Amino acid sequence: MKSLFFTEEHELFRSSLQDFFQAEVMPQINKWEDEGKTDRTILKKMGEMGFLGLEVEEKYGGMGLDFMYTCILMEEMGRTGSAGFSTVVSAHSYLAMNYLIHAGSDLIKEKYLIPSVMGEKIGSLSMTEPFAGSDVRSLRTTARREGDYYYVDGSKTFISNGYYGDYTVAAVQTESGISMMVIDLEAEGVMRTKLDKVGIRSSDTAELAFNNVKVPVENLLGQEGKGFYYMMESLQVERLTGVQSNLGLMKYVLDITIQYMSERKAFGRSINQFQALRHEIAEMGSELAALEAFTYLTSYRLTQGDSVVKECSMLKLKTGDFVNELVYRCQQMFGGYGFMEEYPIGRIYRDVRVIPVYGGTSEIMKEIIAKILIDKKEYKPVYK
């Protein structure tokens, strides 16, 4: 399967990532969970290795690589078993930075993209509001222009990297409609409140309040009034990278479950010899293999420039549901130990519940798919 979509260079990159994560991430996961944040020095190290700017042009400090390298990065981050760590990196590189790459001016790229690639600045994406989640057309955060500045008022919630990050790419209502702009989180009038979540605790999540925040006009991304279309374009990358991470996480969970089953004994033999449990693994492994093939194919098609809105929505829907099912079924294999903090399966059980919610709920995914299949809706690229 891998040989169809990944070259020898891709696999060498995968090996280097695995070594890096084994040395720099795995020993820190429990500490980051306890502290409620991922140490930003890991992003600095990833930036130095080039991991944060895989597709970014070299003149902006990136590697200029194809999207299949991103597929590998996200999958291997998922295989660390830490959804929090994966969320911190993906919110930075594939939510915030994605807008800088495609809609940012040269000035924006110099000021925000280059330090983001190096891990010196950490970004977030501010779309969701207390009264506007999936319905982005109902955004209430406003930006009124006065001369060379916008003045922003409103609030955003559930913002990954919003508490410890440096800037946010925010969707706001301007005179021309929804627009996207970069807001420095240290700017006067910005208030951050850290939210206390059930899971994914090593990824900070914040509510942001903007009170007459002064933002230079040069921080506008692309054209005023085009924000809704930029969001629709970027969401397929956001969802697909999330799917890739889900894929890695499911592989990790299945691996540690099979390992545990080989060690745990009951009635005089390892529990991996009981037919009922063996067949559970066979079923989950089969479904996971199908999702892997669909994910790799969709990732490859995106690399070729195809529009994959339907496929990304389908994958977000199916992996969001199946990661919860797989973790639940695997946790059962651990018996009482699956409910103990010392076993990662318990933490992962808490983490995955939100996956069918963020980045667009399963219900929204179904509606997007239905519009394409039934109403023949077409989604066309807007950045170019």
Sign of CA dihedral 328, 333, 338, 342: negative
Among this protein's residues, is 363 annotated catalytic?
A: no
Q: Spelled out in words, what is the top-level CATH class assigned to the domain 2-122? A: mainly alpha
> What is the pLDDT, as a whole number, of residue 179?
97
Q: Is CATH 2.40.110.10 the right assignment for the domain spanning 124-224?
A: yes
What letters, b where the CB count within 10 A reaches 16 and e where it falls short, cover 171-207? bbbbeeebbbbbbbbeeeebebeeeebebbbbbbbbb
Pairing of strands 123-126, 167-174: parallel
Distance in angstroms (rounded) separating the CA atoms of residues 97 and 165: 13
Q: What are phi and psi of 159, to 5 degrees?
A: -95, 110
> What is the pLDDT, as a whole number, of residue 381?
66
Q: What is the CATH number of domain 228-373?
A: 1.20.140.10
Query: For the segment 279-296, what is each residue's pLDDT rounded down to a tens digit?
Result: 999 999 999 999 999 999
Distance in angstroms (rounded) separating the CA atoms of residues 315 and 192: 33
What dihedral do alpha carbons 353, 349, 235, 78 form, nearest 10°? 180
For the segment 143-166, the average pLDDT, to the nearest whole number, is: 97
29: left (phi over 0), alpha (psi -120 to 50) or beta: alpha
- Delimit the domains of the chain by residue range: 2-122, 124-224, 228-373
**Is there a contact between 203 and 40 (Cβ–Cβ < 8 Å)?**
no
Q: Provide the 3-class DSSP secondary structure of residue 79.
A: coil
> What is the pLDDT, as a whole number, of residue 1?
60
**Is there a contact between 146 and 105 (Cβ–Cβ < 8 Å)?**
no
Looking at the predicted structure, is the pLDDT value of residue 383 above 80?
no
Q: Catalytic pick from 238, 287, 292, 325?
A: 238
